[in-house]
């Protein structure tokens, strides 16, 4: 997902030109990964652009910040308004949005109390995150294990955590795969480098939860809600490598990948090498929901054109 610059970035309370949203090389977050972020999407609907599940993402943003004792000097409502203002200012239609808050330059000690906090929200037009997403992706089970939540809480979305994901996806791409699946320290399936995983077995969907050291994805939650409404049985429990190998279908969920079928794991063909029917049903419902075509899911959309007060 390369990015095409947009006109402005929301940076510490104001919209500034893209090229001016810079940080100092001694930013604490750069050295020690002491920052938190979100990934959200804006979709073009018949009523203009709308951010999908903005509140859920921003709630997780504040929860992640709380774990790292990072005080965000704006309220959730202010950041929600800032996000919509950014979408409007850049005339965004289908976009990926990236709020970030981190400890900025103040000390090179590991402690954070002397560091100011910087908050920014950037966005850019979306492109496909994973190659081959439409036909299904080819994945490998990584030799790199997921860090345990008793060291770094996986349910917080912190910058430094992604060195674990980056190594796993580097290894996967080096081996010619699209994406990695990480196992946790107990050898159970955890998640992809940037997405949650779903198994389809006998018409039901199965996914794991926080006890498997995953990020509790907003899209994962959306999947469970859509499955319920579609009358598809959903089971939340530990997922094993055996579950992957005996699955009828497999798919990833995540803001960047949306619903992406998995067609191969380490040479093992899943679902005949093509997207399965349950996956497609959920994928189509998700697509209709994010595009504002399903009234029951309008509650998940924040329309950018709505009048908002000045941030
Ligand atoms: N797991 C990880 C490690 C991720 O980075 C992401 C992307 N934020 C997800 C799962 C999916 O989360 P969400 O559906 O909220 O985007």
pLDDT digits over 284-303, tens only?
999 999 999 999 999 999 99
User: Which of 51, 213, 219, when mutated, tests ligand 1's pocket best, judged by the most ligand atoms within 8 Å of its CB?
Assistant: 219
Structure tokens of 161? 């955590």
Report the sign of the C-alpha dihedral through residues 238, 192, 141, 30, in that order.
Answer: negative
Pairing of β 196-201 and β 117-125: unpaired
The topology (CATH level 3) of 137-275 is: D-amino Acid Aminotransferase; Chain A, domain 2 (3.20.10)
Tell me which DSSP letter residue 85 carries.
Answer: H
pLDDT band at 52 (very low <50, low <70, confident <90, very high): very high
Closest residue by Cα to residue 283 from 126, 66, 134, 65: 134
Question: Given this structure, which CATH class describes domain 8-125?
Answer: alpha beta
CATH code 3.20.10.10 region(s) in the chain: 137-275
- How far is the C-alpha of 183 from the C-alpha of 144, rounded, in Å? 8
Classify residue 103 as exposed, middle or buried by CB count within 10 Å of its CB (0-12, 13-18, 19+). Answer: buried
Q: Which two three-digit tokens encode residue 29? A: 């977050």
Query: What is the percent of the chain where pLDDT is above 70?
Result: 98
**What pLDDT was estimated at residue 133?**
83
- Predicted confidence (pLDDT) per residue in 57-73, tens digit: 999 999 999 999 999 99
The segment(s) of the chain belonging to CATH 3.30.470.10 are 8-125
What local confidence, expressed as pLDDT, does residue 234 receive? 98
pLDDT in tens, 119-170: 999 999 987 788 778 899 999 999 999 999 999 999 999 999 999 999 999 9
| Ligand 1 centre distance from Cα of residue 217 (Å) | 5
Per-residue confidence (pLDDT) for residue 310, from 0 to 100: 47
Output the pLDDT for position 311.
46
What residues form DSSP beta bridges with 117?
A: 103
Tell the residue nearest (CA) to atom 12 of ligand 1. Answer: 217
CB-ligand 1 contact for 285 (6 Å cutoff): no
- pLDDT at res. 3: 87
């Amino acid at each position: 997902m390369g990015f095409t610059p947009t006109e402005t970035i929301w940076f510490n309370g104001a919209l500034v030109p893209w090229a001016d949203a810079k940080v100092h090389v001694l930013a604490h977050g750069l050295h020690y990964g002491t920052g938190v972020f979100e990934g959200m999407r804006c979709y073009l609907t018949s009523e203009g652009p709308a951010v999908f599940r903005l509140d859920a993402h921003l709630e997780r943003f504040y929860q992640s910040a709380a774990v790292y004792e990072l005080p965000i000097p704006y309220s959730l409502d202010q950041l929600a308004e800032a996000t919509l203002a950014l979408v409007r200012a850049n005339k965004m239609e289908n976009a990926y949005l990236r709020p970030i808050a981190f400890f900025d330059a103040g000390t090179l000690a590991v402690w954070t109390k002397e560091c100011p906090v910087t908050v920014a929200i950037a966005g850019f037009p979306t492109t496909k995150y994973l190659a081959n997403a439409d036909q299904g992706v080819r994945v490998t089970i990584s030799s790199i294990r997921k860090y345990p939540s008793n060291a770094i809480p996986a349910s917080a979305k912190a910058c430094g955590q992604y060195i674990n994901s980056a190594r796993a996806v580097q290894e996967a791409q080096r081996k010619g795969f699209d994406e990695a699946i990480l196992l946790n320290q107990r050898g159970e399936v955890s998640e992809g480098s940037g997405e949650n995983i779903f198994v389809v077995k006998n018409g039901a969907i199965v996914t794991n939860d926080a006890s498997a050291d995953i990020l509790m994805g907003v899209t994962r939650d959306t999947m469970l809600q859509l499955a319920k409404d579609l009358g598809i049985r959903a089971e939340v429990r530990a997922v094993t490598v055996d579950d992957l190998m005996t699955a009828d279908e497999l798919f990833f969920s995540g803001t960047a990948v949306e619903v992406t079928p998995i067609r191969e794991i380490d040479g093992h063909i899943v679902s005949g090498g093509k997207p399965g029917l349950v996956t497609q049903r959920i994928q189509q419902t998700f697509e209709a929901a994010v595009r504002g075509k399903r009234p029951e899911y309008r509650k998940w959309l924040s329309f950018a054109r709505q009048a908002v007060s000045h941030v």
